[in-house]
């Protein structure tokens, strides 16, 4: 990771106010990084902070999946997702998939204000950092029967 991080800021409806307050408090630090957000959250952050936000679709319309794709492509360094554990979300499967892909690719995740405070105040944020990237090469080969040896391929079909 470079010193300038690519940070995603996301919040469920009931947590948007918390995220906006947190972002306002950390505005000077956030300005030093490239920021991404799902649609509604991104618009609110731009209005509140006057910072350019790379806005994706709204979460329920595919924004969570777009973020997941960026994580898998190595385009995201941190995920700050103020999610609401007390309210049922119609796109809960997308949220779970996003959190799962962040863990798969070893992306730091903050799910509330306290964890976001710890993450953003870390000295690692303003320095280069060599994140451990898992090697899924063996797993990918095992899961792709087209690349398997002929005798193994025959067993799969």
What Rg value do the Cα atoms of the chain yield, rounded? 18
Tokens 């991404």 correspond to what residue? 36
Cα 93–99–102 angle (5° rounding)? Answer: 140
**CA 98 to centroid of chain Cα atoms:** 7
Q: In sequence order, what are the beta bridge partners of 7?
A: 35, 78
Q: 3-state SS string over 27-74? A: HHHHCCCEEEECHHHHHHHHHHHCCCCEECCCHHHCHHHHHHHHHHCC
The residue from 18, 34, 64, 117 that is catalytic is 64
Q: Catalytic annotation on 64?
A: yes
The phi and psi torsions of 39 (rounded to 5 degrees) equal -45, -65
Which sequence positions are flagged as catalytic?
64
């Amino acid at each position: 990771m470079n010193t300038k991080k690519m940070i995603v800021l996301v919040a469920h409806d009931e947590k948007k106010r918390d995220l906006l307050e947190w972002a306002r408090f950390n505005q000077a630090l956030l300005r030093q990084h490239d920021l991404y957000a799902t649609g509604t959250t991104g618009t609110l952050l731009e209005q509140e902070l006057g910072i350019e936000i790379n806005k994706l679709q709204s979460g329920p319309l595919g924004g969570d999946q777009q973020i997941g794709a960026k994580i898998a492509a190595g385009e995201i360094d941190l995920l700050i997702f103020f999610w609401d554990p007390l309210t049922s979300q119609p796109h809960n499967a997308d949220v779970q998939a996003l959190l799962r892909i962040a863990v798969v690719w070893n992306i730091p995740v903050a799910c509330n204000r306290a964890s976001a405070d710890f993450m953003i105040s870390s000295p690692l944020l303003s320095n280069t950092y060599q994140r451990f990237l898992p090697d899924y090469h063996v797993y990918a080969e095992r899961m792709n029967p087209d690349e398997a040896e002929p005798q193994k391929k025959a067993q799969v079909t």
